[in-house]
Structure 1
């Protein structure tokens, strides 16, 4: 039996998550979008040990790490190449350029970990030509590179090229990927980006998913780039994030290969709006639509005005995209640092819900999502490059009716109670982000934050709200107990969201403040990814109340996602 324990409280308000069209990755990672920094945008083709350490130092000293920006991701061009492609180690895996990383990757990861941060790494599908030419052995097997390579086909690669495809009908191919993943795990990798993914590389993504899981180390798995939406359910099943478009960088800087400032431009940012509308339905706990790096930190020189940068962050937050900074963290401006550390914006990103677009008219766009406590988060944009525009939304378009109290989330200021619609006259590239609290909104209590007896908080099924759900042990008496607050005594409507993947009813007794109210049936919902609602009326006292749901049979109760109290 598991001991009674209280799950950790969330640091951000949780929002309603609609049922996903396909099961999310069940590796238990990225329940919320990843936050941190990646080397590609600013460091580009010249990463090295000193630069990576400097960015990790700045992530901590700036206070960004305390806000949740914890990943330090080394992207491409850490490898060593010769005229035939990647130089490889004794087992055919890419060799790290020792001139750039003299202490090695494990030492760098250790440095990052010592600062309380997490370390990310990079790879592309296939096996290097040099591994095949030398017929390198596959670690831990009797196989060799020539046994597993399909030399008639090559993979997309942006650096040394010359990557042959793998023949996954041969067991040595998976063993090779496993050996590479094991090496990364031994180095302390916490996040892996596999680049060059497209419809032809599903087998590679599946192989890497298996390989990362078999290491026993939790490694956040990210796919890149410009993935086809036709395979969206596949990416969702296998990975924790997936790039929906090409690079956000404009490659219009003055340095080699378009490096240097500016890093991006408004057209590259605003192109993500249509992408987010198309991909919205696939985002949820465990798997996120990735709109590429967040280009905020170095002021106007990144290629965006202050208004555009606020819109950039607003959209990434509303879309629940990973927030991976691409800027130089050693040269943060005070204006941009304030943007990045805005707790209200971070909470919108970390709420676990991707917003829907409800207005798309010329340069005017409006996006919305509903919070667990009945609040609505609404973003209004003028996406144009010249001229002010008045952007409007009715509360009905946002998803509710009646008056609502409005708060400006960028400033934190109250805008009072507004009857039925909201308008803002916005400069080109400007945004307005508000929270609207309708009268009589329901309050949500996430099961994973309740007290659990003989059960556990888990996240291995899709469609749940918050960071997970409660899976009760299959014993009589297992329970989940919520602490519910009421401003005044009286009757309340309580909705229990549950899933029962069996065909057997799993009844629970509902008790309020220690007194049984009724025993409710919780019949099968078809599978564990399908959620249903059970509603009843209870009487609450003013102040704190306990609502306990207890399984009454040897099967225990169903999985419980949350309790809504109107």
Structure 2
């Protein structure tokens, strides 16, 4: 009998946890933009000097002006708990403490983010938040944290939905508006259940600094991640974003055209734009890619629709994105290592969005549009004209059709 009562009690306690999760609804109306330490600095490279330097560079480089606002420290900032269970920063790396660092970031007009894990340990073996969710959330609020990336290592037999819901509730109870980023790797299809839990959720395993790599045990290349978004784009809308992981733009390896394609497609799909390079040491090409206001405007469009994979010709693809003011955006992507001769006529074409939340929707090109090349920032004609271009290997031509 005692076992039965205990089981019923657990049921009463557990079920409302899932039912009553509530993120801060005023946050994340457009895809979050910022910087994260992991891709460049990993575990061993972070310290408070580096983070301050990145905050300074986000302002001086024009990144802040372009819309980037979050400075996020990933794994390895923490190294223990005190006798009361309160999470402790690694004093060798952050001698001034996390609150002082958050205050510095805020003084630059930016927002500050931290990392934790739903399991007992983080992916690097530091203390996770399992069993300490409410204490950690209260600590983060006291420190002035604005963004929490929450990973999924060392979770044992935990289920993702209740685990992430618990932290979502803890953040709500702590009272400070904190954008909640679920880094669950897409294993339990968070796009189907996390709309009220968090503001963004990872859809795949980690990105690796490679354009066309398939999962090699460490992560996925740019094209592989892109291909995994095709059937889940319908879950994207304001306040709920499929996170295609952090950008590798500016970290070497990718060519100039690959970097532009990477940035273009993350923007077309309305993925959060979280850079992962050294902002204090960007060359001009990298800076120009990451601050291209034409491309960023597609990502930040308030309609919040992820691009439709409209045409697939193997090594050549066309993606279509409707915009809030009646404009359209199109990405003509050459996936191959060879040039592609593009000749495109809009006459008589239609785009059907079968995933529209109000039922399938059709878009036509019957209304006259002016065509703007968003990378060159040049007007290249009208929709009655044929688009002709030799696309370089891995190049993506992004056009905005401006309604007349």
Return the TM-score normalized by structure 2: 0.82
* CA distance in 2 between partners of 1:433 and 1:372 (Å): 17
2:92 to 91, 94, 99: 99
Contact persistence 1:24–1:287 (CA under 8 A)? no
Paired position in structure 2 for 1:239: 198
Deviation at residue 387 of structure 1 after TM alignment: 3.9
CA distance in 2, matches of 1:391, 1:336: 29
The alignment of Structure 1 onto Structure 2 pairs a total of residues equal to: 358
Aligned partner of residue 371 in structure 2, secondary structure: strand
Instruction: Give 1:329 deviation, angstroms.
Output: 0.8
1:295 to partner: Cα distance: 1.9
Q: Counterpart in 2 of 1:180?
A: 136
1:249 pairs with 2:208:
yes
CA 228–397 in structure 1, closer or farther in 2 if over 3 Å, else same: farther
- CA shift in 2, pair 1:308/1:126, >3 Å: closer
Q: Could you give the per-residue CA deviations for residues 13-48 of structure 1, whole angstroms, max 9, x where no partner exists?
A: xxxxxxxxxx99562210011111100000111211
Residue 70 to residue 387, structure 1, CA distance change in 2 (3 Å):
same
Change (3 A) 1:127 1:44: closer
Is 1:112 equivalent to 2:116 in the alignment?
no
Query: Given the alignment of the two structures, is residue 368 of structure 1 paired with residue 368 of structure 2, yes or no?
Result: no
Q: CA deviation at 1:391?
A: 6.7
Report the CA distance shift for 1:67/1:401 in structure 2 as closer, same or farther (over 3 A). Answer: closer
Provide Cα deviations, 1:423-459, integer angstroms capped at 9, x if missing partner: 54312110111112355xxxxxxxxxxxxxxxxxxxx
Offset of residue 161 of structure 1? 6.5
Q: Check conservation: 1:359, 1:393, Cα contact below 8 A.
A: no
Gaps of 5+ in 1: 1-22, 81-86, 129-156, 167-172, 251-263, 440-566
User: For residues 309 and 335 of structure 1, what CA distance do their matches in structure 2 show?
Assistant: 10
- Which residue number corresponds to residue 125 of structure 1? 118
Query: Which of 29, 32, 39 is the matching residue for 1:31?
Result: 29
More displaced 10-residue stretch of structure 1: 378-387 or 415-424: 415-424
State the shift of 1:78 in Å: 1.3
Distance 1:373 1:331, change over 3 A: same
Pairing of 1:164-313 with structure 2 (within 5 A): 173=131, 176-196=132-152, 200-228=159-187, 230-250=189-209, 264-267=210-213, 268-297=221-250, 302-313=252-263
Task: Identify the structure with the greater strand proportion.
Answer: 1
Show the 5 A alignment for 1:51-66.
51-66=50-65
Distance 2:235 2:262 in 1: 21
Contact 2:250 2:259 in 1 (8 A): no
Normalising by structure 1, report the TM-score. 0.60
C-alpha contact 2:350 2:365 (8 A) present in aligned 1: no
Displacement of 1:127 in angstroms is 4.2
| Structure 1 segments (4+ residues) deviating >4 Å | 23-26, 420-423
Corresponding position of 1:471: none
Compute the displacement of 1:392 (Å).
4.2
Alignment of 1:404-483 (within 5 A): 404-419=369-384, 422=387, 424-438=389-403
**How far did residue 411 of structure 1 move?**
1.5
After TM superposition, give the deviation of residue 369 of structure 1 in Å: 1.4
Shift of 1:304: 0.8
Q: Distance in 2 between matches of 1:366 and 1:36?
A: 28
Pairwise CA distance, 1:373: 2.4
Q: How far did residue 94 of structure 1 move?
A: 3.6
* 1:115–1:161 distance in 2 versus 1, CA, 3 Å: closer
Moved more, 393-402 or 179-188: 393-402
Give the Cα–Cα distance (whole angstroms) in 2 for the partners of residues 53 and 77 of structure 1.
16
Change (3 A) 1:73 1:188: same
1:210-234, Cα deviation, whole Å (9 max, x unpaired): 1111111110000114213644221
- Secondary structure in structure 2 of the residue aligned to 1:235: coil
* 1:255-288 alpha-carbon deviations (Å, 9 max, x no partner): xxxxxxxxx4443111122122122111111111
Kept after mapping to 2: 8 A contact 1:190/1:220 = yes
Higher Rg: 1
**Contact 2:34/2:273 (<8 A) preserved:** yes
| Residue equivalent to 2:76 | 77
Stretch of structure 1 that moved more, 234-243 or 89-98: 89-98
> What displacement does 1:92 show?
2.4
Q: Give the Cα–Cα distance (whole angstroms) in 1 for the partners of residues 369 and 388 of structure 2.
A: 14
Query: C-alpha deviations, 1:395-417, integer Å up to 9, x for none?
Result: 62442132432111111211122
Q: Does 1:400 align with 2:381?
A: no
In structure 1, distance between residues paired with 2:369 and 2:118: 51
**Structure 1 residues 113-122 or 235-244, which shifts more?**
235-244
Q: Distance in 1 between matches of 2:341 and 2:399?
A: 17
